[in-house]
Chains A and B, each alone.
Chain A
Amino acid sequence: KNQVEQSPQSLIILEGKNCTLQCNYTVSPFSNLRWYKQDTGRGPVSLTIMTFSENTKSNGRYTATLDADTKQSSLHITASQLSDSASYICVVSDAGNNRKLIWGLGTSLAVNP
């Protein structure tokens, strides 16, 4: 069964600190990998989208990396802000199943002052 697993499940950091969120997937072959940010009570917002040939993609203080060989991705947040408190969701597009999107359960990040 194709799966997307994220770790940690939740994380608490102090404002200004960096953090890294992990995503491991078993989807194969895959078309692309996406990271979304979801604030409480709102819809997900796209941060990055990477194809299998891309290793790194940045969006401001957010940097996503992808290792297609080990089927791992990470999302690094630099100099965290209170507004970064949210759930971060990894999504993998299944190229072998009509590019169906397989959603992870997300990592809940709390940034404290």
Chain B
Amino acid sequence: DAGITQSPRHKVTETGTPVTLRCHQTENHRYMYWYRQDPGHGLRLIHYSYGVKDTDKGEVSDGYSVSRSKTEDFLLTLESATSSQTSVYFCAISESPVTETQYFGPGTRLLVL
């Protein structure tokens, strides 16, 4: 998985609780992304980062926030988890967003009860 780790790999939580997912890379890539994957939908971009402390929203950013204080770490926070946020979350990295391949982490399976 191209030097990308995600933690935790599995999590069960209750509605209303905050949840933080971590993505860690050892490739020193500038761009990092958070996606969610659900049945019946293609991968959907939640947030992305183009540098330390530089982040922007994707197409499904409501209810999520991100932070990137170091090149290698990109955190995704669900402020108050809802059942609709039950999903598989993937982190990805790339050297540039335009022509370069995105490399994906192994995913985090989140269940919100």
Contacts and interface: CB of A to CB of B under 8 A. Distances in A.
B106 A31 contact: no
Interface in A29-73: 31-32, 34, 41-46, 49, 51
A45 B4 CA distance: 12
Interface SS of chain B? loop
A105 B90 contact: no
A102 B41 CA distance: 11
A6 to B, nearest CB: 9
Contacts, number: 47
A101 interface: yes
Q: Which of B1, B40, B92, B99 has the most C-beta atoms of chain A within 10 angstroms of its own C-beta?
A: B99
Contact of A44 (B43, B44, B59, B98): B43
B7 to A, nearest CB: 14
B41 A105 contact: yes
A4 B42 contact: yes
Given A103-B43, A104-B42, A105-B42, A43 B107 contact: yes
A46 B102 contact: yes
Chain B interface size band reads: 20 to 34
B64 to A, nearest CB: 17
A99 interface: yes
Interface of A: 4, 31-32, 34, 41-46, 49, 51, 89, 91, 93, 99-106
Interface of B: 1, 4, 40-45, 59, 90, 92, 97-99, 101-107
